[in-house]
Amino acid sequence: MLDADYLVVGAGASGLAFTDALVSYTDATVAIVDRRGDPGGHWCDAYPFVRLHQASAFYGVASMLLGGGRRQSAGPEAGLHERASGAEVRAYCSTVLDTLVATGRVAYVGGYEHVGAGMMRRLDDAGAASVRVRPGARIVDARFLSPTIPATSPPPFEVAADTTVLPVGRLDACLDASRLVIVGSGKTATDAVVHALGAGVDPGRITWVRPREPWMLDRAVAQPDPAVFTGMAAAVWESAARARSLEELFARLEDAGVMLRIDRAVTPTMAKTPTLARWELALLREVEDVARLGHLRRVERRGLSFEDGDVPLPPGAAVVHCAADGLPRPAPVPVWTTDAITLQPIRAGFPCFGAALIGYVEATRSDDHAKNALCPPTSYGDTRAQWAEMTVRGARSVAAYSREPDIRAWAREVHLNPARVPQGYASRAWDEARERIARADAAATRRLAELAGIAP
């Protein structure tokens, strides 16, 4: 029997961010359980060339900055904030866990699966060993929004028996293929194309299967800098206030330098909006053989079968699976229920900040009903309407928690919060951006709700 006040299920960034905030503000004891032996969640199985797509400062736990909070001084992203590699994220998560365990109030139960109601089963060969947390411990679900990644999920299309489809993590093994087929429209696929081109693959040798066109956020405007980040928010608010349709909203965001698309001749319908740098965009545009024939149904040695047609493949072609769903979209649930505390983003799109905020609110308040009122969850976007919904719900959540002076003060200091304002910060551009948001606020939030199809 494990004697702990909380059982956190999942040692990914969400579980660590919650635990870190909770133990920073209480004397609570916590057991963290994970199927994996090591902390770090999906980063443990990530492809070798993965990096955070956002600045490192926005990721991880509140008490320990990931990286040095530096700007890149060389390379194509000079001037933008550093972004950790997968190996750096894993090493950071290990350090965070060690630091938590060293408090004497956190225990790690690695290699065990939570099977429900506080019961955990060991996953090694012996299999049968189990342990449970003491009755009354609060269960924290830190895997509700665990991403689906190609290394651990099969391709969402049929693969003929005589054919091999490689997950993105094996990309380096097939760079010499006669034709390199990259399947997917999201961040993983764009990373794969950028990596292959960087490794010297001729763009004419790549076929990119892109069933949907993605909108992506220009990385330069999503930076840990109050004037830059608030300037981006002001552009979103002004664009939303004037947009008569979702198509017009995203066109305005593109004109305002917020959103990017790969092919200007095609209107994207996908809006998961990972960040992308302009140097990456220039590379992506070099690939001209784009298969837009609906979803890929089946891969055979001789060709690809789509919803709307077939594409032949030459002998020696390699197909690379970058088509996992990534961030899931279950319907949001209240964070605090009698069964569990379910970690979710609160302000739009920053899962680590959301988990840390939930940890802080759990530490400083006792009434679950009041806590839920302060932290209405947001879900991730996939379509443009869902992006509008995420954005307006996120704004409502910020307004809800910001009404409490202590939470407002805490959030203002936390580097995970993209709207953080360092002590003594002053900037004319920041003041102007806030004035622009205030002017557009009523019209923007009303219009976003209309475009999302939710109550104003």
Ligand X SMILES: Cc1cc2nc3c(=O)[nH]c(=O)nc-3n(C[C@H](O)[C@H](O)[C@H](O)COP(=O)(O)OP(=O)(O)OC[C@H]3O[C@@H](n4cnc5c(N)ncnc54)[C@H](O)[C@@H]3O)c2cc1C
Q: How far is the CB of 34 from ligand X (least distance, A)?
A: 4
Which of 6, 7, 10, 391 binds ligand X (CB under 6 A)? It is 10
Q: Which stretches does DSSP call E strand in 20-75? A: 30-34
309-312 and 179-183 strand pairing: unpaired
d(CA 103, CA 47): 33
Check residue 432 for interaction with ligand X (CB under 6 A).
no
Q: What would the two tokens of residue 209 be? A: 């299967």
The stretch among 46-54, 64-72, 293-301, 306-314 that binds ligand X (CB under 6 A) is 46-54
Closest to ligand X by CB, 9 vs 449, is: 9
Closest to ligand X by CB, 238 vs 280, is: 280
For residue 290, which phi and psi values (nearest 5 degrees)? -110, 125
Which of 52, 100, 304, 322 binds ligand X (CB under 6 A)? It is 52
Strand partners, 208: 182, 290
| Count of C-beta atoms within a 10 Å radius of residue 267 | 14
Residue type present at position 453: G
Residues near 367 by Cβ (< 8 Å), separated by ≥ 6?
none
Binders of ligand X in range 282-341 (CB under 6 A): 326-327
Residue 119 burial by Cβ neighbours in a 10 Å radius (0-12, 13-18, 19+)? middle
The stretch among 170-178, 294-302, 344-352, 424-432 that binds ligand X (CB under 6 A) is 344-352
DSSP string, 286-316: T--EEE-SSSEEEEETTEEEETTEEEE--TT
The stretch among 35-43, 72-80, 163-171, 366-374 that binds ligand X (CB under 6 A) is 35-43
Site string for ligand X, 72-111 (x = CB under 6 A): ----------------------------------------
Residue type present at position 322: C
Binders of ligand X in range 149-178 (CB under 6 A): 149
Pick from 153, 178, 157: nearest CA to 168 = 153
Q: What would the two tokens of residue 404 be? A: 């409490």
Check residue 121 for interaction with ligand X (CB under 6 A).
no
Size, binding site for ligand X by CB under 6 A = 33
- Which single residue brings its beta carbon nearest to ligand X? 41
Binders of ligand X in range 351-390 (CB under 6 A): 351-352
Closest to ligand X by CB, 11 vs 227, is: 11
Q: What would the two tokens of residue 448 be? A: 């976003």
Q: How far is the CB of 191 from ligand X (least distance, A)?
A: 8
Closest to ligand X by CB, 317 vs 351, is: 351
Give the SS3 label for residue 269: coil
The stretch among 20-28, 66-74, 144-152, 168-176 that binds ligand X (CB under 6 A) is 144-152
Which of the 8 DSSP states describes residue 137?
P
Largest CA distance in the chain: 65
The stretch among 146-154, 157-165, 370-378, 425-433 that binds ligand X (CB under 6 A) is 146-154
Check residue 241 for interaction with ligand X (CB under 6 A).
no
Start-to-end CA distance of the chain, whole Å, equals 49
Binders of ligand X in range 14-33 (CB under 6 A): 14-15, 33
Which of 42, 138, 347, 415 binds ligand X (CB under 6 A)? It is 42
Residues in touch with ligand X (CB under 6 A): 9-15, 33-36, 41-42, 46, 50, 52-54, 58-59, 113-114, 142-143, 145-147, 149, 326-327, 350-352
